[in-house]
């Protein structure tokens, strides 16, 4: 720190000095905890119940009405079907904390929420444009896919970056962007492995992801207004995908009524001895996610239809889950992976085989070429607010719309080659 103007000191100028803080610059260390405790007690006094599966969610169900309240520090998102109760709650919170009512949701925690006739589209258009501007990519040439499938990164390839913080800032911003962009989840997972000592090829690959975002910065996920609340999950794994550690990559994708609500791409913590074992570990991840989602939706008054279908493209992994005496290939697998068998026997899930071309989680485990990548994108439930309705009306019907889209992608891919 520099010595403030007007402060006289007696120490020599070459002696290092410091300041002793009498208080934290941003308030007390327990301020956030005390704030949430006061908010929780206030809501509970009005009959709101905190969720045991997500402590930041409060619900109130009475006489056919339901109110759901989500809290993030001092930002609150309120939803429900009882307008009078919502108005009373706002008045109560304003009396307790002096809140500011921003009306219907359109922007929350960096997420832009657009209401359309089909439901709501959640995207991060403004955030994406700001990210492209920060790294000077607005005038760059767009790419078809987030990563080049023929280019493999390693920790010792290329020269070291003169400023590693630039790469770390890029990856952290992309990590936040994947909340509405499942198509870049694998790219973010892959780039996150080189945060300790980033090299020039790693930074160039990160800029390649930004060039992919130029295709449609407003792309997001569609939460439709359908009354279908059935869960559906896809599980996949890429065996020994990491060339350095030989660990596999787990990917899963969960839909609620056809809408994407949860996805993950993550390297497995240990080496798998076979592709069947890697797929079985990926099944354990998605089953645990489904159990948690079922309980969370139950807190909101939604009953999940069981069994929940889980799709996997490995017959061997399905046989391991269904056959408890299939021990020759599974005796080295940790016991927690057999959690899949318990949930399967309880009837909460059902396992189904799906061909690799229809595996939605495939985009979360590896980098694909142009046509397979965009074919899966059409099934993931991602849309753009401005082009969703306009393109449907321009092409007349849904069938010709997708035909033109696929043909356009093929032409673009061939031209790019």
pLDDT score at 326: 58
pLDDT, tens digit (0-9, with 9 covering 90-100), for 190-229 = 999 999 999 999 999 999 999 999 999 999 998 888 888 8
Same domain? For 69 and 111 the reply is no
Residues 178 and 124 in one domain: yes
Q: Compute the average pLDDT of residues 270-291.
A: 91
Band the pLDDT of 327: cuts 50, 70, 90.
Answer: low
Confidence of residue 409 (pLDDT cuts 50, 70, 90): very low
pLDDT at 137: 92
Average pLDDT of every residue of the chain:
84
Rg (CA), the chain: 25
Residue written as token pair 């492995």: 193
Same structural domain, 59 and 140: no
In our burial notation (b when 16+ CB lie closer than 10 A, e otherwise), range 170-203 reads bbebbeebbbbbbbbbbbbbbbebbeeebbebbb
Residue in 188, 201, 190 with CA at minimum distance from that of residue 156 = 201
Q: What is the CATH number of the domain that holds 56?
A: 3.30.310
Residue 249: the pLDDT is 93
Does residue 405 carry a pLDDT above 90? no
Q: Residue 109: what pLDDT? A: 87
| DSSP notation for 156-211 | TSSPBPS-HHHHHHHHHHHHHHTTT-GGGHHHHHHHGGGSSS-BHHHHHHHHHHHH
**Cα Dmax for the chain:** 82
pLDDT tens-place string over residues 123-139: 999 999 999 999 999 99
Predicted pLDDT of residue 391? 43
- The distance of Cα 390 from the centroid of its chain, to the nearest Å, equals 27
- Pairing state between β 349-353 and 308-312: parallel
Same domain, 56 and 114: no
Residue that wins the pLDDT comparison between 415 and 95: 95
Quick count: other Cβ atoms within 10 Å of Cβ 35?
A: 14
- Closest Cα partner for 253 from 382, 94, 88? 382
* 307: preceding bond cis by omega (within 30 degrees): yes
Lowest-pLDDT range, 132-136, 319-323, 335-339?
A: 335-339
Range of 200's domain? 106-225
194 and 248 share a domain?
no
Looking at the domain assignment, is residue 164 inside a domain?
yes
User: Residues 379-399: what's their mean pLDDT?
Assistant: 57
**Residue-level pLDDT at 253:** 94
The verdict on residue 371 lying in a domain is: no
Question: Where is the domain boundary, 362, 384, 403?
Answer: 362
Residue 406 has pLDDT above 50, yes or no: no
Tell me whether residue 178 is in a domain: yes
Is the pLDDT confidence value at 404 over 60? no
Q: Which of 228, 41, 56, 207 is nearest to 140 (CA)?
A: 207
Q: Does 396 score more than 50 pLDDT?
A: no
Q: What contacts 96, CB < 8 A, 6 or more positions away?
A: 42
The CA distance from 220 to 180, in Å, is 5
> 272 versus 394: which is more confidently predicted?
272
Backbone angles phi, psi at 273, to 5 degrees: -80, -10
């Amino acid at each position: 720190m520099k010595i403030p103007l007007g402060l006289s000191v007696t120490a020599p100028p070459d002696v290092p000095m410091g300041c002793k803080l009498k208080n934290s610059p941003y308030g007390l260390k327990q301020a956030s905890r005390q704030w949430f405790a006061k908010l929780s007690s206030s809501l509970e006094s009005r009959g709101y119940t905190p969720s045991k599966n997500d402590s930041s969610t409060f619900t109130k169900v009475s006489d056919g009405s339901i109110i759901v309240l989500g809290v993030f520090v001092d930002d609150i998102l309120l939803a429900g079907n009882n307008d009078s109760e919502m108005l009373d709650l706002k008045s109560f919170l304003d009396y307790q904390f002096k809140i500011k009512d921003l009306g219907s949701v359109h922007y929350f925690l960096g997420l832009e929420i657009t209401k359309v006739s089909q439901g709501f589209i959640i995207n991060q258009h403004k955030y994406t444009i700001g990210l492209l501007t920060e790294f000077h990519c607005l005038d760059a040439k767009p790419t078809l896919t987030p990563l080049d499938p023929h280019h493999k990164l390693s920790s010792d390839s290329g020269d070291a970056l003169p400023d590693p913080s630039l790469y770390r800032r890029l990856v952290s911003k992309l990590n936040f962007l994947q909340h509405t962009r499942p198509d870049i989840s694998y790219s973010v997972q892959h780039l996150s492995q080189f945060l300790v000592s980033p090299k020039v090829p790693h930074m160039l690959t990160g800029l390649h992801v930004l060039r992919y975002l130029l295709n449609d910065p407003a792309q997001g996920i569609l939460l439709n207004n359908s009354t279908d609340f059935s869960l559906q999950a896809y599980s996949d794994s890429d065996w020994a995908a990491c060339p350095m550690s030989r660990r596999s990559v787990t990917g899963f994708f969960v839909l609620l009524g056809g809408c994407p609500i949860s996805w993950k791409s993550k390297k497995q913590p240990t080496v798998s001895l076979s592709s069947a074992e890697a797929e079985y570990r990926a099944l354990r991840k998605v089953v645990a996610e489904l159990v948690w989602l079922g309980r969370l939706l139950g807190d909101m008054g939604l009953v999940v239809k069981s069994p929940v279908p889980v799709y996997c493209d490995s017959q061997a992994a399905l046989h391991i889950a269904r056959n408890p005496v299939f021990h020759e290939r599974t005796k080295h697998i940790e016991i927690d992976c057999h959690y899949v068998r318990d949930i399967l026997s309880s009837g909460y899930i059902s396992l189904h085989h799906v061909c690799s071309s229809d595996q939605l989680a495939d985009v979360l485990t590896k980098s694909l070429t142009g046509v397979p990548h965009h074919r899966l994108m059409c099934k993931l439930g991602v849309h753009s607010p401005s082009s969703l309705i306009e393109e449907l009306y321009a092409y007349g019907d849904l069938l010709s719309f997708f035909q033109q889209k696929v043909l356009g992608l093929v032409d673009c891919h061939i031209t790019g080659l």
